């Protein structure tokens, strides 16, 4: 086991002339073509696009977390000079509803269920006038009882937030007989984990513009799936989709926070009704109040094992705070339940999940998507089991981690399970066997924690998940890639260029990428679920390789050589190996000439491909699936922390994060994703928490909602493990979310190692750690000052 696959060294820099791009363009840290503009500030973002002539739109939001709107008095606001229009539900031409899974949220609410609900839209000549108009609006409303917590939602006689009551959805897993197996287990441990509500805290607030062009509502706004956003906008406006165009500008972060509709319908409505450019830019407070959040989840975990440490059964109860609307909640709950035993071999599983509505912010997609909350829970149970059995946590993992071909929670058999490789690599890097517990001061304790996690890639569960991409040779010999997939900083567009360059033997930086425009690019699905490298990556690869095949056919016909003896390399078609007349693998046809010849012979050199792997919907009654997700990611993090046992303060000294990404197509981007995930996970582990009180968010600003800065960031070492995925492009599997998922359990495990007791509630801030120390002192174990 110690001789895992080699850890990749990072080759850097672009491909230089004279090198052979098709050999090494994959696995090379190609410079991002969008990097310079973003670093220098030249790239415009959503808030930079509108000209001075554009009107400003401002949302009238609910004055109360739960109320019937009786009247919105607009006359005074409308009378203010410069106020162009105020729109309400009466102006909606289509349906007044939106929502990704259920259309349960009103565009203009008659009944508000959280503070972000929109009652109307002011459009004015300038931001100042819009603000003055907002202040002149008088809302009269009838307060309804507030369902503030999950317990409130489930209480007898609780006020129903939706017609269907306060339970949004339920999920289960039934495998084997967990009750009997637990009864027969030598050891059974119980833990209760509570995770908090977290905000995405991306820097680029919701901002964009819209205008009419040839009868088409043209909207510049940042989402994560422009084609789905177009569907929702078209539905609301009552227009055919062809009359709605969404273009995504450069975007500063998403993390799932742009999956739900934000400003798109407002912009579209105002532009359509007024036939004039309109802009919207949320303030930070508005952005935090209006946007969905990460689900706070409560998990009761019962885990059984033999005396030797072999896991026997898990019984898991999951309760999830859905907030006011469904958002992607049912899918998040399914992800949580379907990942409830992580990368462990657990033969008997009995898991139940319930998602309930409250008057808090809707909760939906955020990096980790339910799997990260469960990772905290199962790793906490493993640490507890390790303590009770007196078996080192790493040994316990070695006994129980899945091997190739074994089944995860849903009993889906995973051909390549890289989790052991990840863990052993991370342990070697941190120097596990020689780890030191020395500290610079007597009130400090050092600790180490190890997490091992998994994550299903893609939407899965039978959802028709597909990416399309188009690759075309332009007449100037430039390769063009068209993808509707959005890039919010993760590097998808550069990745698409890199893959097309590999297939067509050109410089990746010379590829022209046309992206994220519903009128010009094919639908590439959502940039979420860690899916784009696999999905759009494969679609680009399929399209590009078909164009390459056409070009080889052209060259073969032209030269009389067999196409199998030719390849695309260095902007040319060249001999693949020594063949008569081309002993030095010489160029047989420059690319541009091949393009011209191809066009003359009737080749389009323009291919759209689709990658649409099939997954299998969950089985009724068991929640099992032979193929819930197309592939799984595995990762292991090791965290080293210093805990101040007098104050409870935790400092993370070092994190090693090993991820089996299958193949790192661009290693620097892979490392960047892992590092970013680690920092975001550190925030979740130690400090971030949306505080709501009776439906009112108390910390809707970066003054009070605190996220880690560089000063809080430890040394991060990203280790890239490469065990090929059978279906991913070049063996790649994805990388987006697991970097976050692995971090909180590693840090929490390290805290437990340092103080001898676990903190079961996140964030594990200084106060919670201090209280855990005091509890354990009273119980007579653990650290003491």
Partner 1 sequence: MKPFELVNASSLSSALGALGQAKGAVAKAGGVDLLDLMKEGISAPPRLINLRTIAGLDKIAAASGEQGAVLGPLATLAQLAESKALAGVPAYAALAEAAAAAATPQIRNMATLAGNLCQRPRCWYFRDADYHCLRKGGNKCFAHSGDNAFHAIFENDKCAVVHPSAAAVALSALGAKLELQRAGKDGKVATRELAMADFFVAPSKDVQRENVLAAGELISAVKLPAPQAGQRSAYIKQKQKQSFDWPLGEVAVSLTVTAGKIAAASVVLGSVAPIPWRAKKAEAALVGKAADEALIKAAAEAALAGADPLDDNGYKVPLVKALVRRALTQALVSK
Stretch that binds partner 1, among 106-114, 382-390, 448-456, 765-773 (CB under 8 A): 765-773
User: Could you tell me which stretch among 222-230, 360-368, 732-740, 761-769 binds partner 1 (CB under 8 A)?
Assistant: 761-769
- What's the CA gap between 454 and 169, in Å, rounded? 24
Query: With CB under 8 A as the contact rule, which of the stretches 425-433, 529-537, 592-600, 766-774 interacts with partner 1?
Result: 766-774
Judged by CB, which is closer to partner 1: 128, or 520?
128
What are the DSSP calls for 248-299, one per residue? --B-S--TTTTSS--SHHHHHHHHHHHTS-EEEE--HHHHHHHS-BBPPEEE
Residue from 62, 765, 772, 782 touching partner 1 (CB under 8 A): that is: 765
Of 136, 144, 587, 766, the one binding partner 1 (CB under 8 A) is 766
Helices and strands (H, E) in the chain, number of each type: 20, 30
User: What 3-state DSSP class applies to 329?
Assistant: helix
User: Judged by CB, which is closer to partner 1: 689, or 737?
Assistant: 689
Map residues 570-609 to x or -, x wherever contact with partner 1 holds by CB under 8 A. Answer: ----------------------------------------
**Residue 476: Cβ-neighbour burial (10 angstroms; 0-12, 13-18, 19+):** exposed
Tell me which of 70, 143, 151, 767 binds partner 1, using CB under 8 A: 767
Give 649-686 as a DSSP string: -EEEEEEEEEEE-S--SSHHHHHHHHHHHHHHHHHHHH
Beta bridge partners of residue 12, listed in sequence order? 29
Extract the tokens encoding 738.
Answer: 């697991």
Q: What does the CA dihedral 527, 198, 68, 234 come to, rounded to 10 degrees? A: -10
- Give the shortest CB-278-to-partner 1 separation in angstroms: 22
Residues 381 and 301 sit within 8 Å (Cβ to Cβ): yes
Task: For residue 18, give the 3-state DSSP assignment.
Answer: coil
User: Which residue in 406, 553, 649, 727 binds partner 1 (CB under 8 A)?
Assistant: 649
Site for partner 1 in 124-163 (CB under 8 A): 128
Q: How far is the CB of 693 from partner 1 (least distance, A)?
A: 5
Cβ 712 to partner 1 shortest distance, Å: 5
> What are the tokens at 482?
């068209």
- Backbone dihedral region for residue 530 (phi beyond 0: left; psi -120 to 50: alpha; all else: beta): left
Single residue of 36, 142, 601, 771 touching partner 1 by CB under 8 A: 771
Closer residue to partner 1 in complex, CB, 331/772: 772
Q: Is the peptide bond before 175 cis (omega within 30 degrees of 0)?
A: no
- Write the interaction track for partner 1 spanning residues 676-715; mark x where CB under 8 A is met and - where it is not: ----------xx---x-x--x-xx--xxx-x-xx-xx---
Q: Please, what is the angle between helix 226-237 and helix 264-274, to 10°?
A: 50
**Residue 569 zone, left/alpha/beta (φ > 0; ψ -120 to 50; rest):** beta
- Nearest approach in angstroms of CB 687 to partner 1 is 5
Q: How far is the CB of 711 from partner 1 (least distance, A)?
A: 4
> Minimal distance in Å, beta carbon 283 to partner 1?
9
Whole-angstrom distance, CA of residue 400 vs CA of residue 65: 46
Check if the beta carbon of residue 96 is closer than 8 Å to that of residue 107.
yes
Count of residues binding partner 1 (CB under 8 A)?
Answer: 27
Cβ proximity to partner 1: between 460 and 708 the closer is 708
Q: Under the criterion CB under 8 A, does residue 770 sit at the interface with partner 1?
A: yes
Nearer of residues 8 and 284 to partner 1, judged by Cβ: 284
Cβ proximity to partner 1: between 577 and 771 the closer is: 771
Site of interaction with partner 1 (CB under 8 A) = 128, 443, 644, 646-649, 686-687, 691, 693, 696, 698-699, 702-704, 706, 708-709, 711-712, 765-767, 770-771
């Amino acid at each position: 086991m110690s001789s895992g696959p080699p850890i990749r060294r990072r080759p850097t820099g672009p491909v230089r002339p004279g090198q052979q791009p098709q050999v090494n363009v994959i696995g090379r840290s190609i410079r991002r073509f969008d990097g310079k503009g973003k670093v220098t500030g030249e790239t415009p973002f959503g808030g930079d696009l509108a000209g001075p002539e554009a009107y400003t739109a401002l949302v009238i939001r609910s004055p109360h977390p739960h109320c019937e709107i009786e009247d919105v008095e607009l006359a005074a606001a409308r009378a203010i000079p410069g106020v162009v229009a105020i729109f309400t539900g009466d102006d909606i031409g289509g349906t007044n509803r939106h929502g990704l899974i259920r259309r349960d949220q009103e565009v203009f609410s008659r009944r508000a269920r959280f503070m972000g609900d929109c009652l109307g839209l002011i459009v004015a000549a300038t931001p100042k006038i819009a603000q003055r108009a907002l202040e002149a609006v008088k809302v009269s409303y009838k307060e309804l009882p507030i369902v503030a917590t999950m317990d409130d939602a489930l209480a007898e006689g609780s006020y129903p937030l939706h017609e269907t009551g306060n339970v949004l959805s339920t999920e289960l897993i039934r495998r084997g007989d967990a009750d009997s197996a637990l009864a027969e287990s030598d050891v059974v441990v119980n833990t209760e984990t509570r995770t908090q509500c977290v905000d995405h805290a991306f820097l680029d607030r919701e901002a964009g513009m819209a205008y009419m062009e040839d009868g088409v509502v043209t909207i510049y706004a940042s989402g994560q799936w422009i084609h789905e956003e177009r569907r929702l906008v078209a539905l609301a406006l009552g227009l055919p989709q062809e009359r709605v165009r969404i273009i995504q500008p450069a975007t500063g972060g998403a993390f799932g926070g742009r999956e739900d509709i934000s400003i798109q319908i407002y912009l579209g409505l105002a532009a359509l009704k007024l036939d004039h450019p309109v802009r919207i830019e949320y303030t930070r407070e508005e952005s935090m109040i209006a946007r969905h959040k990460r689900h706070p989840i409560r998990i009761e975990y019962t885990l059984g094992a033999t005396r030797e440490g072999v896991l026997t059964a898990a019984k898991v109860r999951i309760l999830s705070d859905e907030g006011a609307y469904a958002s992607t909640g049912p899918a998040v709950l399914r992800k949580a339940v379907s990942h409830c035993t992580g990368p462990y071999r657990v033969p008997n599983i009995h898991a139940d999940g319930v998602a309930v509505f409250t008057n808090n912010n809707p909760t939906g997609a955020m990096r980790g998507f339910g799997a990260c909350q469960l990772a905290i829970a199962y790793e906490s149970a493993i640490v507890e089991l390790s303590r009770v059995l007196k078996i080192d946590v790493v040994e316990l993992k070695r006994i129980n981690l899945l091997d190739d071909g074994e089944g995860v929670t849903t009993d889906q058999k995973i051909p390549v399970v890289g989790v052991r490789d990840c863990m052993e690599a991370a342990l070697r890097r941190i120097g596990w066997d020689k780890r030191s517990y020395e500290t610079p001061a007597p009130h400090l304790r050092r600790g180490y924690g190890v997490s091992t996690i998994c994550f299903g890639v893609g939407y899965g569960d039978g959802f028709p998940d597909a990416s399309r991409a188009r690759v075309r040779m332009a007449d100037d010999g430039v390769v063009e890639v068209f993808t509707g997939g959005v890039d919010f900083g993760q590097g998808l567009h550069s990745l698409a260029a890199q893959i097309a360059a590999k297939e067509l033997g050109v410089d990746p930086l010379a590829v022209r990428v046309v992206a994220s425009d519903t009128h010009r690019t094919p639908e590439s699905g959502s940039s979420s679920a860690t899916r784009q490298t696999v999905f759009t990556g494969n679609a680009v690869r399929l399209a590009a390789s078909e164009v390459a095949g056409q070009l080889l056919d052209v060259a073969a016909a032209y030269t009389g050589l067999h196409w199998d003896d030719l390849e695309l390399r260095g902007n040319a078609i060249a001999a693949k190996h020594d063949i008569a007349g081309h002993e030095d693998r010489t160029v047989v046809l420059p690319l541009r000439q091949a393009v011209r010849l191809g066009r003359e012979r009737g080749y389009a050199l323009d291919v759209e491909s689709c990658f649409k792997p099939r997954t299998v919907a969950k089985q009724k009654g068991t929640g099992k699936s032979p193929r819930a997700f197309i592939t799984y990611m595995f990762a292991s993090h090791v965290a080293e922390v210093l805990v101040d046992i007098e104050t409870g303060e935790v400092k993370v000294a070092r994190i090693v994060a090993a991820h089996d990404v299958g193949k790192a197509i661009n290693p620097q981007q892979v490392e960047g994703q892992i590092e970013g995930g680690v920092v975001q996970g550190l925030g979740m582990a130690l400090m971030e928490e949306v505080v709501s009180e009776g439906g009112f968010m108390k910390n809707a600003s970066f003054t009070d909602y605190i996220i880690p800065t560089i000063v809080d960031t430890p040394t991060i070492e990203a280790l890239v493990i490469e065990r090929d995925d059978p279906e991913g492009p070049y063996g790649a599997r994805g990388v987006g979310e697991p970097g976050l998922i692995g971090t909180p359990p590693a840090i929490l495990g390290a805290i437990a190692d340092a103080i001898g007791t676990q903190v079961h509630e996140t964030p594990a801030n200084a106060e919670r750690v201090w209280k855990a120390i005091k509890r354990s002192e009273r119980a007579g174990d653990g650290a003491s000052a």
